Structure 1
């Protein structure tokens, strides 16, 4: 647990150094990612570190916020999350739903034989 806390503090220190507009965007994304992102500490820490990397590079290059997130920030966040959501509850529920529908389909095929 102490390692995760150190990583979190380091991430927060990095994001505090961003220009205010980038920091505002990161804070908003962070809030969204906390609700829908991975639950395990190591994966979550990696995700936030990658978010900081992305915005640090963008700030250094002078990349506009909309060039980073596009027209739909929710879509950006969802695509970003796909890299980390294997262990998250949303991914598990999506997988559970897909498997249940597949089983139902197979049973449907059996009943029509």
Structure 2
């Protein structure tokens, strides 16, 4: 990864955070919680992938339609996040594979 890649990555991330800051407060709070959750359990390559910008797109559409954030996601934000990443390879999967087990097995 060269210096230009790093600079471009920072530029994209700053543009992304500017879009998040432009959301209404309730959407911004929920987005922050989603981001925190996904960074803990989320897929490999999350910061560079399309998932977080896609969530902001989804939220911007909800704002434009006048829909509340709870109407978009429901009451269980973690379940919403889990549905988003259910088919993605997560850091837990990578760790499990490096430990010699298959994902989803506990030492069997």
- What TM-score range do you get, normalising by the shorter chain? 0.7 to 0.9
- 1:33-48 matched pairs, under 5 angstroms: 33-40=38-45, 41-43=47-49, 46-48=50-52
Q: Which has the higher helix share?
A: 1
The higher relative CO (CA closer than 8 Å, separation ≥ 6) is in 1
Bigger Rg, structure 1 or 2:
1
Structure 2 unaligned regions, length at least 5: 1-5
Match of 1:19 among 24, 43, 46: 24
| Root-mean-square deviation over aligned CA pairs | 2.5
The answer to whether the 8 A contact 2:38-2:81 is kept is: yes
Following superposition of structure 1 onto structure 2, how do residues 26-65 of structure 1 map, counting pairs within 5 Å?
26-40=31-45, 41-43=47-49, 46-65=50-69
- Aligned pair count reads 98
Structure 2 length as normaliser, TM-score?
0.74
Q: Normalised by the size of structure 1, how large is the TM-score? A: 0.71
The structure-2 alpha-carbon separation of the partners of 1:3 and 1:38, relative to structure 1 and needing over 3 Å to count, comes to farther
Specify whether residues 36 and 99 from structure 1 end up closer, same or farther in structure 2 by C-alpha distance, changes over 3 A only. closer
Provide the C-alpha distance between the structure 1 equivalents of 2:73 and 2:54, rounded to a whole number of angstroms.
14
Unaligned runs of 5+ in 1: 105-113
